[in-house]
Amino acid sequence: MSFLRLKEEILDPAICTGCGICTFACPVSCIHLNEKNEPMLLGECNSCGLCIKLCPRVSFDCNFSSTNNNLKVNPFVGCYENIYFGRAAAQEIRNKGSGGGIVSAVLVSALQKGLVEGSLVVEMSKTITPFYVISRSKEQVIKTAQSKYIVAPLNQILKNLKSKRGQFVLVALPCQVHAIRKLQREGPEWVSKKIKYVIGLFCASSLRRNFLDYLFWSLGVKKQDAKELQFRHRRNSTTSSLLLLTRGGTRFFIDRKDYSFLFYLFPREACLYCTDHTNEFADISVGDMRPFPKDSPNYEAIEPLQSVIIVRTKKGVELLRNTDLILFDYDVNDLIASKLTNMIDKKICSRTRMQLQARKGLSVPIIKQNMLEDYTLRGYDKKICPSNAFKAIRYAYEIAWLEVLHLTTHKTFAAILSRIPLQILKAIVSRFLRYKTWGLLKKSD
């Protein structure tokens, strides 16, 4: 039975990303998603094998460069034509975005210039559940702006899309982009025709649903009293914050720098075995711009709340060319250095965790991509050493960290954490994270 294999290889080892492709692909509609976006069998499986064939976690070919000739290739960033940082030229759009408003600006331009009929974007429901919608106007795009950080499955929007007229642009996380690219290659032909462009978001991890339990407990808010949650509310021109609005009108704010460490405590388990931080298979990838490292040869002070843009394909070039943006060239090594912990965690530490998973006899994602070689950060006195990923000290760190993460899945432990003042918890986690690159980062020769 196909679903039984899916359960044994993907669901039981907890490497399901919740993309919903198996639900979409099932011809007899016997696969449904529960509230955690996990597939469940609610009918009789006809053993067609489509759920296994199209699941990006069963196998995914990362040899993207073979279909994109003449592109630059970087082991941490993937294939690309150019890398920029910048912001939307329109202040109205920038003010509503998570960072530089790049994604919203590109979507609005694509709609206004007739490149697409609509954009597939994520909206947050009244029950604080993300779901995909089709935005067909500037107003709708701006309404759905900002990062959601909780995975929205693709199954329902794909089913709705088949009967819609025209072509669309999809905004998605790396795991969702993997699912769409595999579906475009091996699934129904209309998917490739309908989804014309793919804009990918950088991702360190998405959050488990019990993060919301922790958040409500820590703020002293009952779940039923929560009216609205924004992860990247723009309080002013230099700060984005988490905003929780209650039905009684009370507003709680947590600055992003004070809650971003929680992504390491409450990640979806599948994210621990993902190797794609910069969304390598999108047409354009967009993420937060961090300040230049002080030891960068290109160091300069920059405006806060801007975005990194990686243009990867000719379609990406077309999207960017038709959008009014303020852009500056960005060196790939500055990008890697500014996001060093995320880059190392995704490209190297994930491999260590996969080895630990495999040694337990559990399945791991089949990723057709070679292990990285040691990499010297040009312009920096640093060398990244993937060759040390499988040494005892790295296994010890990851085992300890996985034990902590296992504890956070339990309601009681999450409740205990909620009683610890946020700044103290941040200090504890940050101290542990200092060793994330232990043995993997050295001075260059």
The helix or strand, by DSSP H or E, that contains position 82, with its residue range, turns out to be: strand 82-88
The first and second tokens of residue 436, run together, are 């994330």
pLDDT-derived band at 337 (thresholds 50, 70, 90) equals very high
* Region for 151 from its dihedrals, namely left if φ exceeds 0, alpha if ψ lies in -120 to 50, beta otherwise: beta
Question: In this prediction, what percent of the chain has a pLDDT beyond 90?
Answer: 80
CA–CA separation, 351 and 433 (whole Å): 17
pLDDT of residue 363: 85
State pTM to two decimals: 0.95
Q: What does 126-157 look like in DSSP terms, one character per residue?
A: TTS-EEEEEE-SHHHHHHT-S---S---SHHH
Q: Report the candidate in 308, 280, 258 with the shortest Cα–Cα distance to residue 98.
A: 308
Question: Residues 174-198: pLDDT tens digits?
Answer: 999 999 999 999 999 999 999 999 9
pLDDT of residue 65: 46
Question: Residues 52-108: pLDDT tens digits?
Answer: 999 999 888 755 544 456 689 999 999 999 999 999 999 999 988 888 999 999 999
Compute the chain's Rg from CA coordinates.
21
Q: What does 16-79 look like in DSSP terms, one character per residue?
A: -----HHHHH-TT--EEE-TTS-EEE-S------HHHHH-TTT-EE--GGGGSTT-EEETTTEE
CA–CA separation, 195 and 331 (whole Å): 30
Contacting residues for 17 by C-beta, under 8 A, at least 6 apart: 56, 57, 151, 175, 176, 179, 268, 270, 271, 274
Asked: is 2-58 a CATH 3.40.50.1000 domain? The reply is no
> Average pLDDT over the chain, rounded to whole?
92
pLDDT-derived band at 122 (thresholds 50, 70, 90) equals very high
Domain ranges in the chain? Answer: 2-58, 61-207+265-340, 341-442
Q: Report the candidate in 277, 249, 252, 250 with the shortest Cα–Cα distance to residue 263.
A: 277
pLDDT of residue 303: 86
Q: Report the candidate in 193, 154, 192 with the shortest Cα–Cα distance to residue 171.
A: 154
Adjacency order of strands within the sheet including 195-201: 130-135, 118-124, 168-172, 195-201, 284-288, 307-311, 82-88, 325-329
pLDDT of residue 62: 58
Three-state DSSP class for residue 212: helix
Q: Is the pLDDT of residue 365 over 90?
A: no
Residue 18's DSSP bridge partners are none
Question: Residues 134-176: pLDDT tens digits?
Answer: 999 999 999 999 999 999 999 999 999 999 999 999 999 999 9
Q: Report the candidate in 86, 127, 118 with the shortest Cα–Cα distance to residue 308.
A: 86
Q: What is the mean pLDDT of residues 227-255?
A: 91
CA–CA separation, 333 and 379 (whole Å): 8
CA–CA separation, 378 and 374 (whole Å): 13
Q: Report the candidate in 115, 110, 198, 119 with the shortest Cα–Cα distance to residue 164.
A: 119
Specify burial of residue 153 (Cβ count, 10 A radius: 0-12, 13-18, 19+): buried
